[in-house]
Structure 1
Amino acid sequence: MVLITYKHEPFTDFTKEKNQKEFAKAIQLVESYLGKDYPLIINGESITTEDHIISINPANKKEVIGRVSKADRKMVELAMESALRAFETWKKTKPEVRANILFKASAIIRRRKHEFSALLVKEAGKPWNEADADTAEAIDFLEYYGRQMLEMKNGKKVESRPGEYNRYDYIPLGVGVVISPWNFAFAIMAGTTVAALVSGNTVLLKPASTTPIIAAKFIEVLIEAGLPKGVVNFIPSSGSEIGDYIVDHPKTRFISFTGSREVGTRIYERAAKVNESQIWLKRVIAEMGGKDTIIVDTEADLELAAQSIVRSAFGFSGQKCSACSRAIIVEDVYDQVLGRAVELTKELTVGDPTNPDHFMGPVNDQNAFDKIMNYIEIGMDEGRLMIGGAGDDTIGYFIQPTIFADADPNARIMQEEIFGPVVAFSKARDFTHAIKIANNTEYGLTGAVISNNRDHLEQAREDFHVGNLYFNRGCTGAIVGYQPFGGFNMSGTDSKAGGPDYLLLHLQAKTTSEML
């Protein structure tokens, strides 16, 4: 197969009428197959169960996206047995063959790009541009990890001495459990799955319960691309039913998780325990969220600052672990930036994301709606409401973009991850004080600095303690291969997704030494 040499799947320009028409057509295609049933896939076989997970459109609660069969512990055991058997042959499959499956799958997705994005509009509530970026990132992950595997397939060079030949090779770990999130229902689900399988591991995939249909469609793509039976086993279920079971299983070799701090720390703790008949220490790859800050300096483009805050805070309704939920503004320009951010927020529209005129769609589900609205109530006591603060869950789960001003750095809305369209503004005495406030959190995922002062940028490069730091732009939108993504502290294990050492987390090094 010819290796594709492009570096990044381009985003669709929706200002062009041709692209608008094609995407609208894709939405119609998705609407034509809403409400279908999807089976478990274990050892390449379709299995239907009595219990189902029902996926609904968060913008229209009456619309069923589809129903997936729900795995129980018995099904998990079948999936584990299947994955263990498949591992014996898959681990010896040439890396080139494994990579070619990823390249084939990415080509299939690229041909159906608008369809997958339209499904994200319906199932995840993503506006057109956010859905398009999600699908592009999924394609990027497949391409990037395929190329990375080809670079790593011969291991690393080590020294040999006269009469001695030494090799340093990478071998796969075993069966991995992939627990993927709903906010990047395609990109992260696909990326974490293919990183594991292209490295020679086999997978039990448990997608998020609110977005299982996009995962089912991805499994269909992998099968079409030639993935052997049992390499990926599709076991949608609730975390409460099988989550602990698959993490605790003695045959689970590693867990790749993206989600909340609470669930991530629970997985980390349980994975540390050695269960009966377990002969390894489980590896955990975890990305757990953030409380991300944009700092605005006195010497800064204030229009850029306000634009960056608003886009980073309210893109996809703030449902990104990288979203800006704190804006720390040096006091000399505080009122100007706050005022402009409020003006820009007034221009945003909220509604059904099938309409491309809406900047924001719904939040994920009733639980998300209730949690965010509760934080807005907390914010009423902790800050000055500048705009927003209202929600409506009668038809879908819609919340207006919300700005609180004058928040204390230790306030709950400044410390706790809200995961919704809420941003709090706080005033700093000077730039050093702004960095101190930005670091005053248990998280350390993303951050941004808007400044034209080179000394301050270099100060931030050294002292702003986040895994992804951006200068003079927003704090969301990492691109695979360009900005490897992962954070410090309670943001996770800094397992830089889309980076040059990510696949190493799914491999172990083996040294062989031969006397000649």
Structure 2
Amino acid sequence: MSAVTKVSSFVNEAFVDFSVEENRKAMEAAIAKVKGELGKDYPLHIGARKVMTEARIVSINPGDVNHVIGSVSKADQALAEEAMQAALQAFESWKKVPARERAEYLFKAAELMRERKHEFSAVMILEAGKNYAEADADTAEAIDFMEFYAREMIRLSHINETQPLTKVAGEDNNLTYIPLGVGVVIPPWNFPLAICVGMTTAAVVAGNTVLLKPASTTPVIAHKFVALMEEVGLPEGVINFIPGSGAEVGDYLTTHPKTRFISFTGSKEVGLRINKLAADTAQGQIWIKRIIAEMGGKDGIVVDETADLEAAAQAIVASAFGFQGQKCSAGSRAFIVESVYDEVIEKVAELTKQLASGLPENNYYTGPVIDQSSYDRILQYIEIGKTEGRLLTGGGKAPGNGYYIEPTVFIDVDGSSRIMQEEIFGPVLGISKAKNWKEAIALYNNTEFGLTGAFFSSNEERIAEALDTVHCGNLYINRKCTGALVGAHPFGGFNMSGTDSKAGGHDYLLLFTQAKLTSRKI
């Protein structure tokens, strides 16, 4: 099979239908297996060394806080420096490995993850509080990222064939994409496998080496990925696993003179801090550090009077409350044209009240939020919402031995209010009334963010204008604003949503490489 054929054969990993009894039982068996392994100790991976430390990050089940998922060793600055040196050493050989050979590690890892798909999903059900479908989609996306970026690296290695340079008589000209160096990868907890895998493997397949600092609430699933890469034979030091404090380890590596790039997904506040720290030139630094950042959103759905109102209501509820609203793409705002406003909010209320809450391992649609800090913050926003709008449904804690919050809807909310402007990252939806569809778009655009949005209408002229004027990185017409697929919906946003680094797109790997032109007289 030629490289070009291999590249063009990418197909998204299929989602599992858990209404089929066989599939449901398979997931239940995987959960039981993972539960039998709870409480294990996990080491740092620094070059060839597995390091156990006294300081630990203890991962707990947010749906049942009495259960410890695992105890993960915690790096300090000295261990972070050791990891940096291991990554620098590994880079000298890894950068010389042919692109096709680097890609093969990803193909092998994707195949193994596919074989053990339910086990990876089960870890996230217990560690992150995802239901079966959300966890399965997370694992599927991780597989997709590895397959897609492997093919993309092969394509870039043949760039002179697929995108030939202009011919010049008497010269042999070639463009190659070479790696940057050592990068710091800081993934989030809400897609603790997919985004962790995507960010890390994009950097690695491009020829870089990585210092991986996973989210402190979901370090066990990140370790499972690192162990998988070790299993497929990835050379030592290419991925160094160093969980640790953001203030201690994160800042140290961000300001390190040998750090070539930082790839980050998380909050606006942390992303801006990383950008600021990285902008300063450390003593001995000989490059401008590259920042690849995805920093969240305040996404929304606009509905006009010509829309399919049932479909719009379903999309609003799915976008707002899928995985408890803990997605940077979550539709936490809706703007409805006044002539259909009452009808839409009635449908939204009915659908929201149907959402069952309970343990993710029992596959309830609504599970817990991630931790105590998030729980307290979201409940505070709900109290703020009670002063800024009219409570339609929800509005408080939900039962369970974990961080459960009722899916909450506020209506008649002013577009400039706090719950319509600040990222809550929880199951809270605000709805505003608009005089007409143009005002609804203006209300949507009134935000510092610009990640995802959706526009519901059956009027083609309005849709055409929405395509031009709704300001976000990923705009969807007549569908929910969550659920981007690798290769189909390159993902990244405008403004304070980040650097519009389109993960899962054809230009993403360029962010982890630098283009070198060579010209030889013949």
Shared fold per TM-score greater than 0.5: yes
Equivalent-residue separation in structure 2 for 1:306 and 1:241 (angstroms): 45
Cα contact 2:358–2:400 (8 A) shared by 1: no
Give the residue type in structure 2 aligned to 1:395.
N
- Per-residue displacement from partner, 1:439-465 (whole Å, max 9, x unpaired)? 000000000011101111111100000
The answer to whether structure 1 residue 195 and structure 2 residue 202 are counterparts is yes
Equivalent-residue separation in structure 2 for 1:401 and 1:392 (angstroms): 9
State the match for 2:377 in structure 1: 371
Equivalent-residue separation in structure 2 for 1:159 and 1:454 (angstroms): 41
Equivalent-residue separation in structure 2 for 1:159 and 1:461 (angstroms): 35
Task: Give the deviation of 1:393 after TM superposition.
Answer: 7.8
The answer to whether structure 1 residue 176 and structure 2 residue 176 are counterparts is no
State the match for 2:503 in structure 1: 497
The answer to whether structure 1 residue 21 and structure 2 residue 28 are counterparts is no
State the match for 2:213 in structure 1: 206
State the match for 2:302 in structure 1: 295
Equivalent-residue separation in structure 1 for 2:424 and 2:347 (angstroms): 23
Cα contact 2:297–2:452 (8 A) shared by 1: yes
Equivalent-residue separation in structure 1 for 2:93 and 2:324 (angstroms): 44
Cα contact 1:125–1:362 (8 A) shared by 2: yes
Instruction: Pick one of 417, 440, 443 that aligns with 2:446.
Output: 440
The answer to whether structure 1 residue 318 and structure 2 residue 325 are counterparts is yes
Task: Give the deviation of 1:392 after TM superposition.
Answer: 4.7
State the match for 1:222 in structure 2: 229
Give the residue type in structure 2 aligned to 1:178.
V
Counterpart of 2:34 in 1: which secondary structure?
A: helix
Instruction: Pick one of 236, 240, 252 that aligns with 2:247.
Output: 240
The answer to whether structure 1 residue 483 and structure 2 residue 489 are counterparts is yes
Give the residue type in structure 2 aligned to 1:166.
N
Task: Give the deviation of 1:6 after TM superposition.
Answer: 4.4
Structure 2 counterparts to residues 279-428 of structure 1, below 5 A:
279-356=286-363, 358-392=364-398, 395-428=401-434
Equivalent-residue separation in structure 2 for 1:198 and 1:44 (angstroms): 20
Counterpart of 1:490 in 2: which secondary structure?
A: helix
- Per-residue displacement from partner, 1:477-508 (whole Å, max 9, x unpaired)? 00000000000000000000000000000000
State the match for 1:268 in structure 2: 275
Equivalent-residue separation in structure 2 for 1:108 and 1:394 (angstroms): 35
The answer to whether structure 1 residue 453 and structure 2 residue 459 are counterparts is yes
Structure 2 unaligned regions, length at least 5: none
The answer to whether structure 1 residue 231 and structure 2 residue 238 are counterparts is yes
Task: Give the deviation of 1:343 after TM superposition.
Answer: 0.4
Task: Give the deviation of 1:391 after TM superposition.
Answer: 1.2
State the match for 2:135 in structure 1: 131
State the match for 1:104 in structure 2: 108
- Per-residue displacement from partner, 1:81-107 (whole Å, max 9, x unpaired)? 000011011011010110000000001
Cα contact 2:63–2:400 (8 A) shared by 1: no
Task: Give the deviation of 1:44 after TM superposition.
Answer: 2.9
Structure 1 unaligned regions, length at least 5: none
State the match for 1:44 in structure 2: 48
Counterpart of 2:515 in 1: which secondary structure?
A: strand
Counterpart of 2:415 in 1: which secondary structure?
A: coil
Relative to 1, partners in 2 of residues 1:273 and 1:393: Cα closer, same or farther, differing over 3 Å?
farther
Task: Give the deviation of 1:394 after TM superposition.
Answer: 6.7
Equivalent-residue separation in structure 1 for 2:399 and 2:249 (angstroms): 30
Counterpart of 1:306 in 2: which secondary structure?
A: helix
Equivalent-residue separation in structure 2 for 1:393 and 1:290 (angstroms): 29
Cα contact 1:44–1:233 (8 A) shared by 2: no
Cα contact 2:332–2:429 (8 A) shared by 1: yes
Instruction: Pick one of 17, 30, 35 that aligns with 2:34.
Output: 30
Task: Give the deviation of 1:227 after TM superposition.
Answer: 0.3
Give the residue type in structure 1 aligned to 2:426.
G
Cα contact 2:453–2:472 (8 A) shared by 1: yes
Give the residue type in structure 1 aligned to 2:74.
K
Cα contact 2:450–2:493 (8 A) shared by 1: yes
The answer to whether structure 1 residue 146 and structure 2 residue 150 are counterparts is yes
Equivalent-residue separation in structure 2 for 1:301 and 1:180 (angstroms): 37
Give the residue type in structure 2 aligned to 1:422.
V
Give the residue type in structure 1 aligned to 2:479.
R
Cα contact 1:40–1:236 (8 A) shared by 2: yes
Equivalent-residue separation in structure 2 for 1:94 and 1:44 (angstroms): 22
State the match for 1:515 in structure 2: 521
- Per-residue displacement from partner, 1:218-277 (whole Å, max 9, x unpaired)? 011001111001000000112122111010000000000000000000001111111100
Equivalent-residue separation in structure 1 for 2:425 and 2:461 (angstroms): 33
> Over the residues paired in the alignment, what is the CA RMSD in angstroms?
1.1
- Per-residue displacement from partner, 1:405-463 (whole Å, max 9, x unpaired)? 00001000010000000000001111111110000000000000111011111111000
Equivalent-residue separation in structure 1 for 2:385 and 2:399 (angstroms): 20
State the match for 2:16 in structure 1: 12
Task: Give the deviation of 1:45 after TM superposition.
Answer: 2.0
Equivalent-residue separation in structure 1 for 2:416 and 2:487 (angstroms): 35
Task: Give the deviation of 1:48 after TM superposition.
Answer: 0.7
Counterpart of 1:23 in 2: which secondary structure?
A: helix
Equivalent-residue separation in structure 1 for 2:361 and 2:90 (angstroms): 41
Give the residue type in structure 1 aligned to 2:102.
R
Aligned residues: 515
Instruction: Pick one of 159, 162, 168 that aligns with 1:155.
Output: 159
Equivalent-residue separation in structure 2 for 1:54 and 1:186 (angstroms): 18
Give the residue type in structure 2 aligned to 1:416.
E
Equivalent-residue separation in structure 2 for 1:190 and 1:93 (angstroms): 20
Give the residue type in structure 1 aligned to 2:73.
S
Equivalent-residue separation in structure 1 for 2:254 and 2:316 (angstroms): 38
- Identical aligned residues as a percent: 59
Give the residue type in structure 2 aligned to 1:171.
I
Equivalent-residue separation in structure 1 for 2:249 and 2:434 (angstroms): 46
Equivalent-residue separation in structure 2 for 1:109 and 1:78 (angstroms): 29
Task: Give the deviation of 1:317 after TM superposition.
Answer: 0.1
Cα contact 1:442–1:490 (8 A) shared by 2: yes
Counterpart of 2:328 in 1: which secondary structure?
A: coil
Equivalent-residue separation in structure 2 for 1:393 and 1:153 (angstroms): 54
